[in-house]
Chain A
């Protein structure tokens, strides 16, 4: 239903002009949705003309013909037309006094500023904040600069001495034959040597911090030279500055301008969420762009759109979780579970807590190759076999990519087995304070192996896809190996046929560890105490010997290591650290060496 506006009642001019004024009124009214009744809403004339798709002069004439409706105002070179938003306020607050105005009560000196001035001031504040930070950084470096002054003085003195020496050192007497050749062959030319231009000393010495050390840099050097030598240092300075500046936004190491970021509606976000719920797997940003937004990689705005999507999803932390790696940006619905595991994530993280300590995270695993030819070789422990884990130890950290975001919890990978024609979804749980990192989701693959088996993980051209292989033996072997009997709730030895390559030191066979038969699983409170796990292992793996009148247990580290790894994870370094720690005086190393240890229960 058409509504008769104030303009229609008051305009006395021609119909076309009236129509234009009416449209202008409606346009201005649209801007007034968040403005109080009785307030004036204005806009630049040029903007109105653009919004109405009409000539500036025509709009000005139409609005000027209705002074009772449109107020005209000149601000600098801009002409503004405004209307008053009709409503109750003008009638009810007839006796309004400026002193009641909130702005007046809070800050009587406040002045009205335009949106443009507001933007400029905000930019200025950001610049001042950046300058203040730079000043703080500068103050911190003052001490270093003083030291550099002294160093430079010494360097200059040394350089002066060198140049004197070089005057003579570079003069080489020509061979006598060459000397005569020159006399014969060369025409006598009167060479007037121009005096060499004195080197222009730079008026300013620039310093830049390179890996924590201040270095002088000559900005007049060739551009390529500066770039090749100092690009990472410039990047570090720039990253800090861009982080402070609200006009820049970033996702990982990609940066863009906030005002160029595409906006996504709530409906768009809902569609993404529904799509993730429907597929119930981690999906990439490229999948969303293709399937939901009809974008193609060949579109000119594809990368900008892709950035904007990732940037927006990152803001929706309650809805989405990033589980990707660099350039393979995968998303999951927040709090969803892709890989189900027997143990709680917090318990596993606690089990692998020792990996926080670099010295204890050492591993015997080998990493070879670089780039997409990287290869990680690992020997499976019982704990890993039973739970489908792979520890994120020193070698694995070197092999797998790091987290893209500071607070990233996990990354989802695809492990392809060319031998079994199966693909496994594997989740890398990044370390967090007091929790070690690990990979989970390999239990199905491990069913084809035995504890002690060797296998290899190889990178591919895609950063989130790996191949996983093991060495098949030509002949099958049969051994009685340790397994957990769920019904009896005990560890038992059972005959197992296998044809995979194993590390004999890690194989839990009955022939080597007969006393592991009928071993009980430790309860959770006992299992959380690594020293208790070690002492229990001594009792079933070690030899009982007499020492200083006491009956003690003696064992080789090579025997203890596979057995302690039945109930909780240990690295060799971690096990050795417990055995030699002064906190556990009941453990001691064998003075006769051989990487063997004693456990004396009497000293507990």
Chain B
């Protein structure tokens, strides 16, 4: 069983950039971290993180 520390990968950054572009206005770190959690969650339950 692999052990992995949660970190922000370059693909996560690209997705967050895309999300910010869609939003069209600045976002709080709280909103960004919620989106980051959603991305991580989706990756684990989809194709695997």
A residues adjacent to B (C-beta < 8 A): 127, 130-131, 134, 138, 141, 145, 149, 201-208, 217, 219-220, 223, 226-227, 230-235, 237-239, 241-242, 245, 247, 250-251, 253-257, 260, 300-301, 303-304, 307
Known A-B contacts A227-B37, A237-B8; the reply to A256 vs B29 at CB < 8 A is no
B13, B24, B41, B45: the one contacting A245 at CB < 8 Å is: B13
Q: Which residues of B contact A219 (CB under 8 A)?
A: 40-41, 44-45, 49
Minimum CB–CB distance from B19 to chain A (whole Å) comes to 10
Besides A251-B26, A253-B28, 15 new A-B residue pairs in contact (Cβ under 8 A), listed by A number: A127-B10, A203-B48, A207-B3, A207-B6, A220-B45, A231-B30, A231-B37, A232-B33, A235-B29, A238-B36, A239-B29, A250-B29, A254-B26, A300-B24, A304-B24
Q: Which residues of A contact B1 (CB under 8 A)?
A: 201-205
Q: Which residues of A contact B27 (CB under 8 A)?
A: 254-256
* A255 and B2 within 8 A (CB): no
Q: Which residues of A contact B41 (CB under 8 A)?
A: 219-220, 223, 226
Q: Which residues of B contact A208 (CB under 8 A)?
A: 5-6
CA distance A89 to B49 in the complex (A): 56
The answer to the question of B15 belonging to the interface, with a C-beta cut-off of 8 Å to chain A, is: no
Q: What would be 22 A-B contacts, judged by CB atoms less than 8 Å apart?
A: A130-B8, A145-B3, A201-B1, A202-B44, A204-B49, A207-B6, A219-B49, A226-B41, A234-B37, A235-B32, A238-B29, A241-B8, A242-B29, A247-B13, A250-B29, A253-B28, A256-B25, A256-B26, A301-B24, A303-B26, A304-B24, A304-B25
CA distance A134 to B24 in the complex (A): 29
Minimum CB–CB distance from A337 to chain B (whole Å) comes to 32
Known A-B contacts A235-B30, A237-B6, A253-B28; the reply to A223 vs B38 at CB < 8 A is yes
* A237 and B25 within 8 A (CB): no
CA distance A300 to B23 in the complex (A): 11
* A253 and B4 within 8 A (CB): no
Count A-B contacts at CB 8 Å.
122
Known A-B contacts A223-B41, A247-B17; the reply to A134 vs B7 at CB < 8 A is yes
CA distance A513 to B6 in the complex (A): 65
CA distance A149 to B41 in the complex (A): 24
* B34 and A231 within 8 A (CB): yes
Interface residues on chain B, number (Cβ under 8 Å): 32
Known A-B contacts A223-B41, A226-B41, A234-B33; the reply to A206 vs B8 at CB < 8 A is no
Q: Which residues of A contact B38 (CB under 8 A)?
A: 223
B13, B17, B37: the one contacting A226 at CB < 8 Å is: B37
CA distance A412 to B8 in the complex (A): 38
B3, B26, B33: the one contacting A238 at CB < 8 Å is: B33
Minimum CB–CB distance from B10 to chain A (whole Å) comes to 5
CB nearest to A230 among chain B residues: B37
Q: Which 6 residue pairs spanning A and B have beta carbons closest together?
A: A241-B8, A235-B33, A219-B44, A256-B26, A307-B26, A303-B25
A149, A234, A254: the one contacting B28 at CB < 8 Å is: A254
Q: Which residues of A contact B25 (CB under 8 A)?
A: 256, 301, 303-304, 307
Minimum CB–CB distance from B30 to chain A (whole Å) comes to 6
The answer to the question of B47 belonging to the interface, with a C-beta cut-off of 8 Å to chain A, is: no
A207, A233, A251, A260: the one contacting B21 at CB < 8 Å is: A260
CA distance A226 to B5 in the complex (A): 15
B6, B10, B34: the one contacting A217 at CB < 8 Å is: B6
* A255 and B37 within 8 A (CB): no
* A253 and B20 within 8 A (CB): no
Q: Which residues of A contact B17 (CB under 8 A)?
A: 247, 257
CA distance A304 to B13 in the complex (A): 20
CB nearest to A207 among chain B residues: B5
* B21 and A203 within 8 A (CB): no
Q: Which residues of B contact A238 (CB under 8 A)?
A: 8, 29, 32-33, 36
* B4 and A205 within 8 A (CB): yes
Q: Which residues of A contact B32 (CB under 8 A)?
A: 235, 238, 242, 255
Q: Which residues of A contact B10 (CB under 8 A)?
A: 127, 130-131
Minimum CB–CB distance from A348 to chain B (whole Å) comes to 34
CB nearest to B44 among chain A residues: A219
CA distance A254 to B27 in the complex (A): 5
Give the one of B10, B24, B27 with max A CB within 10 A.
B10
Minimum CB–CB distance from A213 to chain B (whole Å) comes to 13
* A204 and B37 within 8 A (CB): no
B21, B33, B44, B49: the one contacting A231 at CB < 8 Å is: B33
